[in-house]
Amino acid sequence: MDNNELVICQGLTKNYGKKTALNNLNLTLGRGQFIGLLGPNGSGKTTTIKLLNGLLQPTSGSVLIDGQAPGTYTHSVISYLPDKNYLNDAMKVNDLISFFSDFYTDFDRVKANDMLDSLGIDPLNRLKTLSKGNQEKVQLILTMSRKAQLYVLDEPIAGVDPAARDYILSTILSNYSEDASVLLSTHLIADVERVLDEVIFLKEDAMVLHDTVDHIREEHGKSVDALFREVFAC
Ligand SMILES: Nc1ncnc2c1ncn2[C@@H]1O[C@H](COP(=O)(O)OP(=O)(O)OP(=O)(O)O)[C@@H](O)[C@H]1O
C-alpha cells in the first residue's frame, strides 16, 4: 500500500434488506485533502460515512483506513461528527470539553477553548440552552480539536448562518494538520467549494464522479455547484 493512501474502499456495498444504499464503491483518498462528499437526498452519503467509521458492516467489499479495517485503531485516527447530536445536551460546554479531553488523548483543550472564544460561545452554557447553529458549532469544535488523521463530518454546517459559515470553514481549514484529510458531506456546495480540493458525486447508490475541483473547473468551465445542478437536475 502507498503510504499516501489514507482511505481505500474496494467494491464497498451496503444493502438494507432489498434496498441498495451503496453499490460497489471503489474509492481512494489521499492525505492532506479536503474532500466534499456530495449527492442528493438518499444517495448514500451517510451510509458511506458510517461504513468508514465501522458503524455499519458492509454487505460486501472492504474499507481500509491507514491500512486497517475499521476497529480500535481506526477509531483512534478518525474524528467523526455525526449528522445528529449524540452528546448529552444537559452538559455544560466546558464539561463536554473535559469529557473529550479525558476520552481522547489527541484532544487539544486550548485549541477548543480558543475556537469557542472566537465564536463568542460561553463555555458555561449547557448545550441544550444554545441555539441550533451554536450547538452545531460546539460539536464541530469538539471534533476538530482532536489531532486526527481523518476528519469525517456529516452535514456540519447546515444550521449555521451564512455569515458564520465562512468563518467556520476557515477555522476548519486552519486547525488541522497538513497531512490530515477532511471528508465532509453537505448540500451547501456553493459555500464550501472554495475550500475543497476534491469532490465525490454520489447518484442514487453509486459514485459518478471523483475529481479535483481544479480539474472540474478546467474541464467543464463551471463551478462544482453548477455542475452538480446539471448532473442532478430533476
Ligand atoms: N436503516 C435503514 N434502513 C433502510 N433503509 C435505509 C436505512 N438507512 C438508510 N436507508 C436508505 O438508504 C439510502 C441512502 O441513505 P443515506 O442516509 O445514506 O443517504 P444520504 O445521501 O445521506 O441522504 P441525505 O442527503 O438525505 O442525508 C436511502 O434510500 C435511505 O432511505
Asked whether the beta carbons of 183 and 27 are under 8 A apart, the reply is no
Residue with CA closest to ligand 1 atom 25: 41
> What is the strand order of the sheet 34-38 is part of?
78-81, 150-154, 181-185, 34-38, 198-203, 206-212
Statement: residue 210 has pLDDT above 90: yes
CA proximity to 123, closest of 102, 96, 105, 103: 96
Q: What is the pLDDT of residue 3?
A: 78
CA proximity to 138, closest of 164, 162, 106, 176: 164
d(CA 146, CA 148): 6
Query: In the beta sheet, which residues pair with residue 10?
Result: 62
Q: Is the CB of 186 under 6 A from ligand 1?
A: no
Statement: residue 1 has pLDDT above 70: no
Average confidence score pLDDT of the chain: 93
CATH code for residues 5-231:
3.40.50.300
Q: Is the CB of 43 under 6 A from ligand 1?
A: yes
Split at pLDDT 50, 70, 90, the class of 86 is confident
Statement: residue 63 has pLDDT above 80: yes
Ligand 1 mutation pick, 45, 51, 203, max ligand atoms within 8 A of CB: 45
Statement: residue 30 has pLDDT above 90: yes
Q: How many angstroms is it from 224 CA to the middle of ligand 1? A: 23
Q: Count the alpha carbons within 13 Å of 47 in the hemisphere toward its beta carbon.
A: 25
Radius of gyration of the chain (CA): 18
Cell 451496503 maps to which residue?
A: 14
SS3 of residue 1 by DSSP:
coil
What are the b/e assignments for 210-233, b being 16+ CB within 10 Å?
bbebeebeeeeeebbebbbeeeee
Give the rounded percent of residues in the chain with a pLDDT score beyond 90: 81
Ligand 1 mutation pick, 12, 14, 15, 16, max ligand atoms within 8 A of CB: 16
* DSSP-assigned letters across all residues of 189-202: HHHHGGG-SEEEEE
**pTM, full prediction:** 0.95
Statement: residue 172 has pLDDT above 90: no
Q: What is the pLDDT of residue 153?
A: 95
pLDDT tens digits, one per residue of 106-120: 999 999 999 999 889
Split at pLDDT 50, 70, 90, the class of 176 is confident
pLDDT tens digits, one per residue of 130-154: 998 899 899 999 999 999 999 999 9
Residue with CA closest to ligand 1 atom 27: 41
Cell of 202: 454520489
